[in-house]
Amino acid sequence: MAEKRDYYEVLGVGKDASDDEIKKAYRKLARQYHPDVNKAEDAEAKFKEVKEAYDVLSDSQNRARYDQYGHIDPNQGMGGGFSGDFGGGFGDIFDMFFGGGGRRDPNAPQRGNDLQYTMTVEFKEAVFGKEMDITIPRTETCDTCDGSGAKPGTKPQTCGVCHGSGQQEVVQNTPFGRMVNRRACSNCNGTGKIIKERCTTCQGNGKVKKQRKIHVRVPAGVDDGAQLRMSGEGESGLRGGPSGDLYIIIRVKPHEFFEREGDDIYCEVPLTFAQAALGDEIEIPTLTEKVKLKIPAGTQTGTFFRLKGKGVPRLRGLGQGDQHVKVVVVTPSKLSDEQKELLRQFASLDGEQTHEHEQSFFDRVKKAFRGD
Ligand SMILES: [Zn+2]
Ligand SMILES: [Zn+2]
Which is more confidently placed, 61 or 307?
A: 307
Distance in Å, CA 236 to ligand 1 centroid? 13
Which is more confidently placed, 152 or 85?
A: 152
Which is more confidently placed, 170 or 218?
A: 218
pLDDT band at 346 (very low <50, low <70, confident <90, very high): confident
- Quote the CA–CA distance of 124 and 283 in Å, as a whole number: 20
20 SS3 class = helix
pLDDT of residue 358: 61
- Quote the CA–CA distance of 124 and 312 in Å, as a whole number: 9
| Ion ligand 1, residues whose Cβ is below 5 A away | 142, 144-145, 199, 201-202
Distance in Å, CA 158 to ligand 2 centroid? 8
| Mean of pLDDT values over 245-256 | 93
For the CA of 150, the nearest ligand = 1
For the CA of 166, the nearest ligand = 2
Phi and psi at 362, nearest 5°, equal: -70, -35
For the CA of 205, the nearest ligand = 1
E strand or H helix at 328: strand 323-330
Q: Residues near 146 by Cβ (< 8 Å), separated by ≥ 6?
A: none
pLDDT of residue 60: 86
pLDDT of residue 101: 40
Q: At residue 367, does pLDDT exceed 90? A: no
Q: What is the pTM of this model?
A: 0.57
Say if CB 191 and CB 106 are below 8 A apart. Answer: yes
- Quote the CA–CA distance of 334 and 27 in Å, as a whole number: 97
For the CA of 185, the nearest ligand = 2
pLDDT tens for each residue of 2-50 = 567 889 999 999 988 999 999 999 988 988 888 777 788 888 888 889 9
Distance in Å, CA 366 to ligand 1 centroid? 86
| Mean of pLDDT values over 238-250 | 90
pLDDT tens for each residue of 127-181 = 999 999 999 999 999 999 988 899 999 999 999 999 988 888 888 777 777 777 7
pLDDT tens for each residue of 282-323 = 999 999 999 999 999 999 999 999 999 999 988 776 889 999
pLDDT band at 265 (very low <50, low <70, confident <90, very high): very high
pLDDT of residue 354: 52
Q: Residues near 83 by Cβ (< 8 Å), separated by ≥ 6?
A: 52
pLDDT tens for each residue of 89-125 = 333 343 334 433 444 677 788 899 999 999 999 999 9
What single-letter DSSP state applies at residue 320? Answer: B
Average pLDDT, the chain: 83
Distance of CA 23 to CAs 9, 87, 223, Å?
Answer: 14, 20, 68
Burial of 266 (0-12, 13-18, 19+ CB in 10 A): middle
- Residue 121: count of CB within 10 angstroms of its CB: 19
pLDDT of residue 92: 37
368 SS3 class = helix
pLDDT band at 225 (very low <50, low <70, confident <90, very high): very high
pLDDT of residue 303: 96
Question: Percentage of the chain with pLDDT > 70?
Answer: 86
pLDDT of residue 158: 92
pLDDT of residue 66: 81
pLDDT of residue 357: 56
pLDDT band at 72 (very low <50, low <70, confident <90, very high): low
Q: Residues near 214 by Cβ (< 8 Å), separated by ≥ 6?
A: 133, 134, 135, 136, 230, 233, 246
Q: How many CA atoms lie within 13 A of 14 on its CB side?
A: 3
pLDDT of residue 268: 95
For the CA of 140, the nearest ligand = 1
pLDDT band at 272 (very low <50, low <70, confident <90, very high): very high
pLDDT of residue 38: 79
pLDDT of residue 350: 66
Distance in Å, CA 46 to ligand 1 centroid? 52
| Mean of pLDDT values over 47-55 | 89
pLDDT of residue 274: 92
Distance in Å, CA 231 to ligand 1 centroid? 25
pLDDT of residue 86: 34
Distance in Å, CA 240 to ligand 2 centroid? 21
- Quote the CA–CA distance of 325 and 107 in Å, as a whole number: 63
- Quote the CA–CA distance of 332 and 14 in Å, as a whole number: 102
Which is more confidently placed, 85 or 184?
A: 184
pLDDT of residue 355: 54
